[in-house]
Amino acid sequence: PTTHLILFHPDSPAWRSRELRRALSYSVERDLLLREIILRDPSGAHGRLIESPFPRSSYGNSLQARPVSYDLSAALAMSVAGARSIDPKGGVLPTLRMVAPPTQTEQAAAQAMIRNWKRVGINVELVPDEEGPQAKYDLIYRVGILPEPVVDWWPIVTLSRRATLLDLTKKPDWLRQQLIELDRTADWNRVIAQSQDLHRRLSIEAAYLPLFEVENYVVIRKNVRGFPARPMHCYDSVDRWTLEAMLPE
C-alpha cells in the first residue's frame, strides 16, 4: 500500500507546539477525504485510515498508539492553546506553508485539508516544491511506500533520506537516543520492541499526521512462481521467484 501522511519541518512553529500539531490532526476529515478525493469511491473499498506511517500489518505498529480522531471542538481548543504557546502575548498563529505532490489528486486533497484547518483558525498556504530550500516549509504532504520501520523511521522524523547525526540536533534527547539505538540494534526482538515504542511515543507527541493507505496493484505473467500474495514492493522476495517455461499455445 501507498501511505499518505503529513510531516512537520523541524524549524516550523508547528514542530515546536504539540498543541498546534494536535489541532492540525483533529481538524482533518480523513475518512471523507479518502472516499471522495483519493479513491472517488463512497465505499472506500481500496483504502483505509491509518494510525501509523507503516502498513497495517507492519511489525512496527503499536496497539498502544494514540488514535487520530476527527473532533472540531478539540481542534479549536488546541488551536487556541497552540497560538498561545507560539505567541504568548498576541496569541496569533503564523500562516503555515505546505508542500504537496504535484499530482492532481494529492493537490486536491491538500486543498481540502487547508479548508479543514481554516475552520479552526489555522491558515495554511500551498507552495510549489521548487520555490526554495526545504527550510521554508512547515508541512510536507508525503506519499510513498514505507515497508521497513528500521530504516523508514529516520526520514519520517528528520525529513532526511540519509541517516546523519546532525539531523537529530533539534530533536528531544529521548528521540535521539531511540533512533540511534534502533539503528545499531542487531537483535530482532529488540528491533520490534523499539519500533513499536517509537510509534507509541511519537503518536502521543503528534509528531506526524497519518492520513490513509491506498492499495496498489501489480500485474505479473502466469509463469512466475513464488511471488508473494501481498507484496510490499515490485521486487519483494525476488530471490524466491521461479520462472517456468512459456509453451506456445
- Over residues 31-73, the pLDDT tens digits come to 999 999 999 999 988 999 999 999 888 999 999 999 899 999 9
Given a contact cutoff of 8 angstroms between Cβ atoms, the answer to whether 54 and 190 are in contact is no
- Over residues 145-191, the pLDDT tens digits come to 888 898 888 888 887 766 676 777 777 888 888 888 888 888 999 99
The model carries a pTM of: 0.83
Comparing 162 with 8, the larger pLDDT belongs to 8
In 3D, which of 64, 228, 215, 55 has the Cα closest to residue 149?
55
Given a contact cutoff of 8 angstroms between Cβ atoms, the answer to whether 138 and 13 are in contact is yes
Burial class of residue 137 in the structure, from the number of CB atoms within 10 Å of its CB (0-12 exposed, 13-18 middle, 19+ buried): buried
- Over residues 76-109, the pLDDT tens digits come to 999 999 999 998 888 888 999 999 999 999 999 9
82-112 burial code (b ≥16 CB/10 A, e <16): bbbebeeeeeebeebbbbbbeeeebeebbeb
Tell me which DSSP letter residue 78 carries: H
Residue 88's pLDDT is 84
